[in-house]
Each structure stands twice: as structure tokens, then as C-alpha cells.
């Protein structure tokens, strides 16, 4: 490993999930369990149907292009990529090849990889349509056209990534961008993200900025999870190094492989020599059209605060630790939840504590998205307020939260039902304390000798009040009463 450097280039596909309809038809753009329900005649290539470009999809694609510091084209156009496959009934995919110019060219992205800022050059980002999906059974196959025509962004990086960690950090940053910029949910569990991974190795002492020095690239197709990307890259690096050591790397041809999750290996599919000729040409049914500079400006100014800016705000304005800020911005839905809670007037540090220490733990355990959590930001705010106003103790508030989640009832209702009011009545607490001290003169003696019996008395008061005594009040009263003796 020490003798080599690694070059990795990614082709990342991400469905645009935030348009109402598909990219060229009026069918709903949305996931459905029920096959063939979100479809229009065009998605099945019925004769006589014609594509109509979805303006919103172009807008979101341009937004991504701008965030990636790409050049935007003067004209929008599409091309046909011709090939036959059952999930592609037209016999071609409408896409954008890199000439004359796709929705974005020659940009870059700076991203954080384990605390180190790293830059990757973007070759291009283009807009295309997704294909249908097929399922195979022992004696038959089925096709579901729900996915056919869903807008898809393909982003192609230069081979600037140098390790599996960098590749995954880049993909995570892209997912965050797609979410924060309201382009896509970017959920790999829903199959919205798919990657092709290109890997090569070269000698350590050669200059990687000169393409002449690059090794032979191996493309690994359709890796569906970030963990898969990491494992596929690490496996491929090992495999290529082994070939090199055996003196067989030089004769290796450019090839396409696939990642096999069962064997944890990459498997040979085809050589680049047999590359398919897609016979690209400009899609004649979609006239090219000029992008007005006012529209482009409008799109540019619609780019919202992204994760790095939110993180900075959390650290500088809300004084959260870098660790907490990082956790809160990781998923946009979580960050939105946090911001809503604060907008209601909650203490930023307190709200961050609740979310990072209790709520995220629960979501993790239940494998749930914060969007589906019964506890709304309003309820969290109410709960925090009850503690602040001394209605319940902070210990009780944890129990209330668990019950809210379990029984799906609002915090106030739970507090009522559990008869959980914090006792802040001086004479009531004092009565209990006086009685306790009377019962345990030996412990007061121990206390005077320097032994800690204080916690015992606090515990007894809590026990007597079923945890409802105001803790700081209890502590003060015990101190006062002990001093009197
Ligand atoms: P192709 O013509 O096979 O599609 P491209 O030049 O378009 O190849 O590159 C496709 C992807 O492969 C890009 O992400 C690019 O960064 C990456 N790539 C190109 N050459 C190499 C290499 N030698 N090692 C690793 N990745 C590479
Ligand atoms: Mg290419």
C-alpha cells in the first residue's frame, strides 16, 4: 500500500424527489408501494406521446449546478442515449451528454473528511430520466414503471479522491446538499442514490496531476449504499495492488465490474473494448431553449443556508460544542426540528441536549425518521417549559418524554395522568425533612464528622414524595434544618 497512490472518480446518481411530477410526463413523482400507479402513457412509451420538460426539475438541477460552482449552459438541450432494455420501453434514455453543455460543467466542491477540508473537481452534472425497475422471480419477471421518468441527476467527479474515506465523505456531503437545498430526500434506503465507482492505482512517486501517469481505471457499477462504496473501493485497491505485485497490472484492460454484497468482492462484467455505442444525438422532440439570466439569478438567490453554515451558527450563536453541532446538522430533518424548537423560544442549549441525548437515541433504536416522531417541536418546547417553571423536575421530564412517545399523548396530559406535579411547597417538604432528621440522629452526627449522609436524606425525601419534591428546594431545606441541630 505504501508504494502506491489511489485515484477514485465517482459517478453519483441521485433522484430529484422534490418535484410534483416526473421530468417529461405529468405522472406523480413519488414513491409508491403499489407498482404501476404513478404512470402516464409517455412513461410506457405509448406511440404518439411526446415529452414536456418539467421546469421545476430544471430549476432544481440548476440549483445543484450552482452549489457545485459549475458553469451553467446558455441553452438547455437533451440527447438520446440509445440502448435496449426491458426497463427502457422507448429504446433510449433522454439525458445530457457532456457536449455541447449539460446543466453544469467544470465545478468543484470542498468537503470535510475527518476534519480536513478536501477539494474535488466536478467534471459535470447532468439531468436525465430514471428507468423503470424490474423484479425477477424464478419463472417470470415484472416491470414497475413508477420509477420510469423520475428526474435523475448524474454527477461526475474528476479522479481527485484518494481513499474510500474521502469518497464516502464526499457522498455524505452531496446527500446533505441535496437535502438542505430541497432538491431531494436523497434517501439511499429508497434507492434514490446509486453510484458508479472508478478506481485505479499508480506509483507513489509519480505526479497524479498528469493524466499520463494514471493507472488503468476499473469501473464498479451500481453500488447502492455508502458502506458498499467504501467496501468496494477497499477491495478493489487490494485486488489491483495484488495484480501489480504479480506483474499483471500492466496487461489489465479497462473494465466494468460489479460489487457483490454476498461475497464482498467485485466481479468482472465486461471489458471497455466491448463498450456499447450509444449513438447519442440531440433529442428532436425537445427544442433547445435559452436560460434567461434573470431566471438564473432567481435560482441562485433561492439557495438556502446549507449544513456548514447552520453548523457554524450553532457553534457561534448558540454556543453548542462542535460535536453537538455536527450531530444536529447531519440530517436536515433533525436540524429543521431543532430550529423549529428554538423558534418557539426554547433555550438552544437545552433543546440541543434533548435532541442529541434522548430523541436521536430513540429514533435510532426505533429506526425512525424524526418527521414521523409523535413528539413535535411544540411538545418538546412545552416539556422544557414545565421543567423551567418548576412544574416537574428534570428527572420527571425524562419519564414524561418516554410516556409521550409510548402512549402518544401530549406532555401536559401525561403529567396530569401520572399525577406528576413537582412539589414546591416549603412547609410540606420541611415537614418531611424534620421528621427524617428526628428519626436519624446518628446520621446527623456522622454528617458532622464529615461523612456524606446528605444524599441519603435527599433520597428519602424523594422517596416520600415519589420524586416530586423540587430538588434544589429540598437540598436547601435539609441544609437549613441540619444547621439548626
Ligand atoms: P469513460 O469515458 O469511461 O466514461 P470518463 O473519462 O468519462 O470515462 O470518466 C468516468 C469516471 O471515471 C469519472 O468519474 C472519472 O473521474 C473517472 N476516472 C477516469 N480515469 C480514471 C482513473 N485513471 N482512475 C480512477 N478514476 C478515473
Ligand atoms: Mg464518461
Q: What is the DSSP string of 220-278?
A: EEEE-SHHHHHHHHHHHHHHHHHHHHTT-STTPPPEEEEEETTTTEEEEEEEGGG----
pLDDT above 90 covers what percent of the chain?
A: 76
Instruction: Say if residue 273's pLDDT is above 80.
Output: no
- Which residues, listed in sequence order, are joined to residue 157 by a DSSP beta bridge? 122
pTM of the full structure: 0.85
Instruction: Say if residue 92's pLDDT is above 80.
Output: yes
How would residue 239 be classed by pLDDT, with cut points 50, 70 and 90?
Answer: very high
- Which pLDDT tens digit goes with each residue over 60-82? 999 999 999 999 999 999 999 99
Centroid of ligand 2 to alpha carbon of 254 (angstroms): 13
Centroid of ligand 2 to alpha carbon of 197 (angstroms): 12
Which whole-number Å values give the CA distances from 106 to 68, 110, 158, in the listed order? Answer: 9, 14, 9
Choice from 217, 233, 237, 271 to test ligand 1 binding pocket (greatest atom count within 8 A of CB): 217
Choice from 9, 95, 232 to test ligand 1 binding pocket (greatest atom count within 8 A of CB): 9
Cβ atoms of residues 204 and 12 within 8 Å: no
Atom of ligand 1 nearest to the CA of 11: 14
- The number of beta carbons lying within 10 Å of the beta carbon of residue 485 is 11
Atom of ligand 1 nearest to the CA of 275: 3
User: Angle, to 10 degrees, between the axis of helix 307-316 and the axis of helix 322-330?
Assistant: 150
Cβ atoms of residues 170 and 157 within 8 Å: yes
Q: Report the pLDDT value the prediction gives residue 423, as an integer from 0 to 100.
A: 72
Choice from 198, 200, 216, 255 to test ligand 1 binding pocket (greatest atom count within 8 A of CB): 198
Cα 58 to the center of its chain, rounded Å: 23
Instruction: Say if residue 1's pLDDT is above 70.
Output: no
Mean pLDDT of the chain: 93
Q: Report the pLDDT value the prediction gives residue 354, as an integer from 0 to 100.
A: 96
Q: Report the pLDDT value the prediction gives residue 276, as an integer from 0 to 100.
A: 80
* CB neighbour list of residue 361: distance below 8 Å, 6 or more residues apart: none
Cell 406528576, residue?
A: 420
Q: Report the pLDDT value the prediction gives residue 227, as an integer from 0 to 100.
A: 95
Domains of the chain: 4-297 (no CATH), 304-417 (no CATH), 426-484 (1.10.10.410)
User: Angle, to 10 degrees, between the axis of helix 471-484 and the axis of helix 426-439?
Assistant: 50
pLDDT above 70 covers what percent of the chain?
A: 99
Atom of ligand 1 nearest to the CA of 254: 3
Q: What is the number of the ligand closest to the CA of 196?
A: 1
Cβ atoms of residues 193 and 173 within 8 Å: no
Mean pLDDT of the 240-257 span: 90
For residue 94, which phi and psi values (nearest 5 degrees)?
-85, 125
Centroid of ligand 1 to alpha carbon of 197 (angstroms): 9
Q: Report the pLDDT value the prediction gives residue 417, as an integer from 0 to 100.
A: 84
CA gap 203, 212 in Å, rounded: 12
- Which pLDDT tens digit goes with each residue over 354-368? 999 999 999 999 989
How would residue 395 be classed by pLDDT, with cut points 50, 70 and 90?
Answer: confident
Centroid of ligand 2 to alpha carbon of 210 (angstroms): 19
Mean pLDDT of the 441-456 span: 85
Query: Computed over its alpha carbons, how large is the radius of gyration of the chain?
Result: 30
pLDDT higher at 348 or 416: 348
Centroid of ligand 2 to alpha carbon of 463 (angstroms): 71
Centroid of ligand 2 to alpha carbon of 198 (angstroms): 11
Range scoring the smallest mean pLDDT among 101-110, 151-160, 443-452: 443-452
Q: Is 297 helix (H, G, I), strand (E, B) or coil?
A: helix
- Which pLDDT tens digit goes with each residue over 196-233? 999 999 999 999 999 999 999 999 998 999 999 999 99
Choice from 11, 159, 216 to test ligand 1 binding pocket (greatest atom count within 8 A of CB): 159
- Which pLDDT tens digit goes with each residue over 296-324? 999 999 999 999 999 999 999 999 999 99
Q: Report the pLDDT value the prediction gives residue 411, as an integer from 0 to 100.
A: 93
Q: What is the number of the ligand closest to the CA of 273?
A: 1
Q: What is the DSSP string of 369-404?
A: -GGG-SS-HHHHHHHHHHHHTTSS-HHHHHHHHHHH
Centroid of ligand 2 to alpha carbon of 63 (angstroms): 22
Residues framing ligand 1 (Cβ under 6 A): 7-11, 156-159, 198-200, 214-215, 217
HEC states along 17-86? CCCCECCCCCCECCCCCCCCCCCCHHHHCCCCCCCCCCHHHHHHHHHHHHHCCCECCCEECCEEEECCEC
Centroid of ligand 1 to alpha carbon of 9 (angstroms): 6
Amino acid at each position: 500500500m505504501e508504494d502506491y497512490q489511489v485515484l477514485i472518480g465517482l459517478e453519483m446518481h441521485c433522484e430529484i424527489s422534490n418535484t410534483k411530477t416526473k421530468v417529461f410526463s405529468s405522472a406523480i413523482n413519488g414513491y409508491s408501494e403499489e407498482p404501476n400507479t404513478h404512470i402516464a402513457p409517455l412513461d410506457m412509451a405509448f406511440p404518439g406521446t411526446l415529452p414536456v420538460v418539467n421546469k421545476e426539475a430544471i430549476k432544481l438541477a440548476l440549483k445543484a449546478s450552482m452549489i457545485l460552482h459549475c458553469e451553467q449552459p446558455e441553452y438547455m438541450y437533451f440527447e438520446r442515449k440509445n440502448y435496449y432494455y426491458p426497463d427502457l420501453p422507448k429504446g433510449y434514455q433522454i439525458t445530457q451528454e457532456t457536449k455541447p453543455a449539460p446543466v453544469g460543467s467544470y465545478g468543484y466542491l470542498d468537503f470535510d473528511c475527518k476534519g480536513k477540508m478536501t477539494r474535488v473537481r466536478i467534471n459535470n452534472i447532468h439531468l436525465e430520466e430514471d428507468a423503470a425497475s424490474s423484479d425477477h422471480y424464478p419463472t417470470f419477471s415484472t416491470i414497475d414503471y413508477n420509477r420510469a421518468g423520475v428526474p435523475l441527476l448524474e454527477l461526475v467527479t474528476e479522479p481527485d479522491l484518494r481513499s474510500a474515506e474521502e469518497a464516502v465523505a464526499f457522498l455524505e456531503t452531496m446527500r446533505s446538499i441535496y437535502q438542505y437545498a430541497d432538491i431531494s430526500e436523497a434517501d439511499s434506503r429508497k434507492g434514490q442514490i446509486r453510484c458508479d465507482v472508478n478506481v485505479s492505482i499508480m506509483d507513489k512517486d509519480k505526479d497524479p496531476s498528469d493524466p499520463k501517469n494514471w493507472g488503468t481505471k476499473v469501473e464498479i457499477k451500481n453500488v447502492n449504499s455508502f458502506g458498499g462504496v467504501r467496501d468496494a473501493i477497499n477491495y478493489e485497491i487490494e485486488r489491483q495492488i495484488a495484480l501489480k505485485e504479480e506483474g499483471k497490472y500492466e496487461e489489465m484492460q479497462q473494465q466494468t465490474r460489479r460489487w457483490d454484497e454476498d461475497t464482498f468482492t467485485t466481479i468482472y462484467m465486461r471489458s471497455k473494448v466491448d463498450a456499447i455505442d450509444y449513438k447519442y444525438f440531440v433529442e428532436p422532440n425537445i427544442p433547445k431553449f435559452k436560460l434567461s439570466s434573470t431566471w438564473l439569478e432567481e435560482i441562485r438567490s433561492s439557495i438556502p443556508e446549507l449544513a456548514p453554515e447552520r453548523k457554524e451558527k450553532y457553534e457561534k450563536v448558540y454556543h453548542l460544542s462542535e460535536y453537538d453541532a455536527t450531530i444536529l446538522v447531519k440530517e436536515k430533518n433533525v436540524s429543521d426540528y431543532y430550529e423549529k424548537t428554538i423558534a418557539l423560544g426554547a433555550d438552544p442549549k437545552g433543546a440541543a441536549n434533548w435532541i442529541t441525548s434522548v430523541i436521536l437515541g430513540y429514533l435510532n433504536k426505533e429506526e425512525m425518521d424524526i418527521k414521523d416522531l409523535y413528539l413535535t417541536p411544540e411538545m418538546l418546547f412545552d416539556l422544557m417549559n414545565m421543567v423551567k417553571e418548576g412544574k416537574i423536575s428534570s428527572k420527571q421530564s425524562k419519564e414524561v418524554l418516554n410516556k409521550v412517545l409510548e402512549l402518544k399523548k401530549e406532555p401536559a396530559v401525561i403529567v396530569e395522568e401520572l399525577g406528576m406535579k413537582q412539589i414546591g411547597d416549603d412547609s410540606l417538604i420541611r415537614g418531611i425533612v424534620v421528621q427524617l432528621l428526628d428519626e436519624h440522629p446518628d446520621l446527623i452526627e456522622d454528617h458532622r464528622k464529615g461523612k456524606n449522609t446528605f444524599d441519603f436524606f435527599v433520597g428519602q425525601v424523594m422517596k416520600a414524595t415519589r420524586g416530586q419534591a423540587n430538588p434544589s428546594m429540598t437540598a436547601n431545606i435539609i441544609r437549613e434544618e441540619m444547621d439548626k441541630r
